[in-house]
Amino acid sequence: MPINPTANKSTPAPGLLLFAFGAALAIFAGLGSTPLFDPDEPVYAQAGLEMLRHHTWIVPWFDGHPLFDKPFLFYAVEAASQGLLGAGAVAARIPSALASVLLALVLARSGARWFSGTAGRWAAWVSISALYPMVAARAAVTDATFTTALFAGILWLGETIEGPGPWPVLGAGAALAVATLVKGPVVFALVALLGISYAFAVGSLRPLLRARSWAAIAVGLALSAPWFLYMALRYPDQFVPEFFGKQNVARFLTPEHAVVAPWFFLAMLPVMFLPWPLFAPRLKQLRISEVRGELRPVVYLMCWAAVVLVFFSLSATKLITYVLPAVPALSLLVGAAISRSGPIARRAAVASGLGAAALVASAAAFVAPRLVCYYSASSRAQDLRDMAPDEELLVYKGGFPGTLYYAGRRGTALRQEGDLGERIRRGTAFRLLVRPRHAGELKSYLSQLELIPGPSGPSGPWGEGLRVYRHRPASQAGPR
């Protein structure tokens, strides 16, 4: 079945500009109304600051040591943002917000190319008003940036199947390389599974034999592989076992967090995509036989969403963010379906998107500040800002990224209680960060330290549950 005859018409520029302005207003409003939330946001922000201090853009640093959990690119973006705007929540979150706006514009373009200009605009609207993408757009973590780069690469890869032209090859290769340098080589595993599943769905091996698609993949590998080779050569005993072994293979094979059911993502994806699953019946407006050149876009997008869902459902470690890359494909499908629906359905889509946006905005304004004491340790940073230059900051069993980020200090890790006793005997001036559940292990030493009271109020895993102790040699003792 031929695809909509308006598919090759571009979305009008004034409409895109108006949309971009509205999207930016919705996403950027109140971006710094809360401090960075532990445990993840301060790590990315702090690593960016330390890259600036070490004058490097290609090796992530955290707490004075190279960081091997993810590639360098998002940390470098965090460094650039904070270098330009200064340290803080707004600068740390702006990269994710910009990536989300860019994703909406990418969807508007591809929707216009594969379906119609109206479909593209609806897809962009669905993308920025879905529940979890709005949350990800306001978080200083990799998810929004990774999703934008990865799905842009998937769309351009589809265009290499669609027809001739050099730009899709270069665009797909560059976007896939960016995604790989944000998250890791799992990108190419997903691409391979997409190719296999799409070829199976259309009943032909031709998609797997397209030279242009292989050329795009080769460009992506050529642009991303040198960084991994550089890190493996520079840190031969650390990078490969930590990044590939622990952060990728081990996470896939063994659960890093609580074990959840295999159907976890199948249940969570509709929640993440709210309110748009309510419009699923409208998908009957689409036909899997629709073609654009040699590409079947409906089948292609459905295969991508299925690959993401199935692949990460097989992973032993399951975080809700893992299936975010499936949401843009669903946004394109729902946007195309709404564009072919009547005025009542369109008005309902506008109201639904506005309702979801209002819900997230209300949560950001009224709920998020109440979570600060539970999920941000920034409140205890004030107890570290008056430290003397020669006063050491000790961290017992686990990092406290929010506290260290807002205090602007680096901590020294203590792995065993004897290290603390040695410093007390030497008369070292220091402050100690410890969680209540670990305080019993240091009971014999904590009686010799001064407990700095925290703010009154509820305690949480990252907030006032943190205890700050102070040790001053007798020669320095006196009123605090």
Q: What is the pLDDT of residues 269-309, one digit of tens each?
A: 999 999 999 999 999 989 988 888 889 999 999 999 999 99
pLDDT of 238: 93
Please give the model's pTM, rounded to 2 decimal places. 0.88
Task: Using the predicted structure, report yes or no on whether residue 462 has a pLDDT greater than 60.
Answer: no
Q: Which of the two residues, 459 and 257, has the higher pLDDT score?
A: 257
What's the pLDDT at 476? 55
- More confident: 250 or 456: 250
| Biggest distance spanned by C-alpha atoms of the chain | 86
pLDDT digits (tens, 9 = 90+) for 221-244: 999 999 999 999 999 999 999 999
Q: Can you tell me the distance from the alpha carbon of 367 to that of 37, in angstroms, rounded to the nearest whole number?
A: 13
What was the pLDDT predicted at 458? 44
In the chain, pLDDT over 90 holds for what percent of residues? 49
CB atoms < 10 A from the CB of 475, how many? Answer: 8
Residue 252 has pLDDT above 50, yes or no: yes
Position 288 scores a pLDDT of 87
pLDDT at 464: 43
Tens digits of per-residue pLDDT, 295-347?
999 999 999 999 999 999 999 999 999 999 999 999 999 999 999 998 898 88
State how far Cα 313 lies from the chain centre.
18
Mean pLDDT score of the chain? 86
Residues 142-165 as b/e (b if ≥16 CB within 10 A, e otherwise) read: bbbbbbbbbbbbbbbbbbbbbeee
DSSP string, 141-182: SSHHHHHHHHHHHHHHHHHHHH---SHHHHHHHHHHHHHHHH
What residues does each domain of the chain span? Answer: 13-371, 378-476
Which has the higher per-residue pLDDT, 18 or 173?
A: 173
Q: pLDDT at position 456, please?
A: 45
Residue 169 binned pLDDT confidence (cut-offs 50, 70, 90): very high
Residues with Cβ within 8 Å of residue 404, at least 6 apart in sequence: 42, 46, 63, 381, 393, 395, 410, 411
Residue bearing the bigger pLDDT, 146 or 425 = 146
Kindly give, in sequence order, each residue whose CB lies less than 8 Å from that of residue 450, ignoring residues fewer than 6 positions away: 469, 470, 471, 472, 480
Percent composition of the chain: helix, strand, coil (DSSP 3-state, to 5): 65, 5, 30
pLDDT value at position 2? Answer: 47
Confidence of residue 258 (pLDDT cuts 50, 70, 90): confident
Rounded-to-integer distance, Cα 349 and Cα 275, Å: 9
Q: With a cut of 70, say whether residue 21 has pLDDT above it.
A: no
**And the tokens for 201?**
């769905």
Per-residue pLDDT band at 455 (split at 50, 70, 90): low
| The pLDDT value given to residue 444 | 85
pLDDT for the residue numbered 4:
47
The pLDDT tens digits of the residues spanning 72-89 come to 999 999 999 999 999 999
- List the one residue out of 132, 139, 78, 35 whose CA is nearest residue 375: 35
pLDDT bracket for residue 44 (50, 70, 90): very high
Determine the pLDDT at residue 11: 41
Least confident of 15-29, 141-155, 460-474: 15-29
